[in-house]
Amino acid sequence: MKKFMLDLIVKKNEVLNNQYSLLILTSHNKLPEMLPGQFAEVRVDHSPTTFLRRPISINYIDYETNELWLLIQIVGDGTRKMYELKAGDTLNLIFPLGNSFSLPEKKDARILLIGGGVGIAPLLFWGSYLKERGYTCNFLLGGRSKDNLLQLCEFERFGNVYTTTEDGSHGECGFVTQHSLLKASNFDYIYTCGPTPMMKAVASYASKTKANCEVSLENTMACGFGACLCCVTDTTEGHLCVCTEGPVFNITKLKWQI
């Protein structure tokens, strides 16, 4: 898939709460095609402490309105600058990067997408993509409290939504892997993105229940397009770059102790 380096325009930066914002980007030209699971490397200007680009998942793409969405969680100076962008600002992106989630073989497959925190970002695009192709999805989204549960209305457009919070302020109380849905139902395909301990717990559940499972990793990156070899993860094929061979990996390929 051809990669581009483009200046996109901020159409709107919707503050979701004091930690998260939804950056809606557009372009004078038609946005290139991209796949769910892929990401962009964002150049952060005017932040003296931010030297390298920042990898951010494609949250959603609307080819009709020519909009590209990025969901931003503030964790440091780079993401803070993105959170503070205003309509009309420009943002330089290298994209689309990485591989994508793989489609289940059968249309009637039982599918579960599990996201934690800002890890829900690529799952919205993936959910919309699955729904468009006639699949039925379930979303299980978790956060520390209800402030960390984002875009619930958006997710509802594409499937059934279940939630957990650690403080019980929304949905079931606890971690995603403790949700009653996991005891009540079986799934053929599980896709997950979020903090590593969460993804490992999901992977362990998936391997116990014999579900096919893909995880989206968030290793630190210097380039994002295979030039530096900094972002590797250990796999059955040795060290592979998360930015080119991933970010999506089937758990059978990873050397996780689960």
Ligand X SMILES: Cc1cc2nc3c(=O)[nH]c(=O)nc-3n(C[C@H](O)[C@H](O)[C@H](O)COP(=O)(O)OP(=O)(O)OC[C@H]3O[C@@H](n4cnc5c(N)ncnc54)[C@H](O)[C@@H]3O)c2cc1C
Ligand Y SMILES: Cc1cc2nc3c(=O)[nH]c(=O)nc-3n(C[C@H](O)[C@H](O)[C@H](O)COP(=O)(O)O)c2cc1C
Mapping DSSP onto H, E and C, the string for 171-188 reads CEECCHHHCHHHHHCCCC
**Measuring CA to CA, which residue among 7, 17, 124, 28 is closest to residue 70?**
124
238-241 and 189-193: which strand pairing? Answer: unpaired
In angstroms, the Cα distances linking 139 to 97, 120, 127, 151, 258 are 24, 9, 8, 12, 23
130 versus 240: smaller Cβ distance to ligand FES:
240
Q: Interface with ligand FES by CB under 6 A: which range of 24-32, 82-90, 104-112, 227-235? A: 227-235
5 binds ligand FES (CB under 6 A): no
Interface residues for ligand X in 105-144 (CB under 6 A)? 118, 121
134 versus 238: smaller Cβ distance to another protein:
238
- Binding-site string for ligand Y from residue 200 to residue 229, where x marks contact by CB under 6 A and - marks none: ----------------------------x-
Residues 6+ apart with CB under 8 A from 72: 20, 21, 22, 23, 56, 79, 82, 83, 118
Among ligand X, ligand FES, another protein, none, partner that 3 touches (CB below 5 to 8 angstroms by kind) = another protein
Minimum Å gap between C-beta 165 and another protein is 25
20-26 and 172-173: which strand pairing? Answer: unpaired
Among ligand Y, ligand X, ligand FES, none, partner that 241 touches (CB below 5 to 8 angstroms by kind) = ligand FES
- Token pair 């992977």 is found at 203
Alpha carbon distance 75, 117 (integer Å): 12
211 versus 240: smaller Cβ distance to ligand FES:
240
**Using CB under 8 A as the criterion, which residues of the chain lie in contact with another protein when the complex forms?**
2-5, 43, 49-53, 94, 219-234, 238-239
The contact set with ligand X (CB under 6 A) reads 39, 50, 54-57, 71-73, 75-79, 118, 121, 218-221, 247
